[in-house]
Amino acid sequence: MGIHILVVDDEKELADVLELYLMNDGYTVHKCCTGAEALSCIEHTEMDLAILDVMLPDMDGFQICRRIREKSFYPIIMLTARAADGDKIMGLTIGADDYITKPFNPLEIVARVKTQLRRYRLYNHPARPEEEPPCEYDIRGLVINRNSHKCSLFGREVQLTPIEFSILWYLCERQGAVVPSEELFEAVWGEKFLQNNNTVMAHIGRLREKLGEPARKPRFIKTVWGVGYTIEK
């Protein structure tokens, strides 16, 4: 059936290079140069991952990201020529899973694509029976199920992106322990943590928002200042 990847960028040469590298790795690439084309494409094709440029002639990549997240939870990688932290946090907050600043090495994009797809498959497929790990946690009304990739709070479904699901699942697996930000980042993103990286903080903030967590007294994901995050038993 193959893996379908959406590439949205109005820089034709760059889009062509991405298409070439991704096709060389066996992916089916759907290339669009405008937001309108991209929205039409995702209506007719079930994607496995999207690579979205922030700056487009008719709309920005953030708008496309929001539209995708209304219905789908496959990984989204944002591309931009702007390196401002505000843009990065915006992308992560609205549901993007990764963020890469131009210029970049196409091989880095391919590596990031493989990482995101591997993580998405991991958290959307049941574990092997012989391992028999827990497939569901119920923590005071917060229920997360690895097999169905669903999360609910007091019976109400909470829509999570793959990254958000991975973070919450990792914390639930270590319920009662404090997980350092560095460990959480390296476990979920599969990359070395660098200082001044606000990625984890941005995603935790988004998770709390979806769970209706009060900023000062969260019920579930608690901050241990200077150390990391924990879900208490």
pLDDT at residue 15, as a whole number: 93
- The predicted pLDDT at position 140 comes to 87
The pLDDT-based confidence of 51 (bands split at 50, 70, 90) is very high
Q: What is the pLDDT of residue 226?
A: 80
Q: Which of 149, 153, 172 is nearest to 162 (CA)?
A: 149
Neighbours of 209 (CB within 10 A): 11
pLDDT at 40: 94
Return mean pLDDT, the chain: 85
**Residue 88: what pLDDT?**
65
The confidence score (pLDDT) of residue 27 equals 92
Q: State percent of the chain over pLDDT 90.
A: 40
pLDDT one-digit tens code per residue, 180-206: 888 898 888 887 777 666 888 889 998
Torsion sign across C-alpha atoms 70, 71, 77, 78: negative
Q: For the segment 102-158, what is each residue's pLDDT rounded down to a tens digit?
A: 888 888 899 889 888 887 877 655 444 444 567 899 998 899 998 888 999 989 999
Q: What's the pLDDT at 120?
A: 80
60-95 pLDDT, tens digit per residue, is: 889 999 999 888 889 999 988 765 556 666 667 778
Question: Residue 229 to residues 84, 99, 150, 200, 215: CA-CA distances in angstroms?
Answer: 26, 23, 22, 10, 14
DSSP string, 122-141: HTTSPPPTTT---SEEEETT
Residue 184's nearest CA partner among 231, 149, 151 is 231
Please write the tens of the pLDDT for every residue from 20-47. Answer: 999 998 899 999 999 999 999 999 899 9
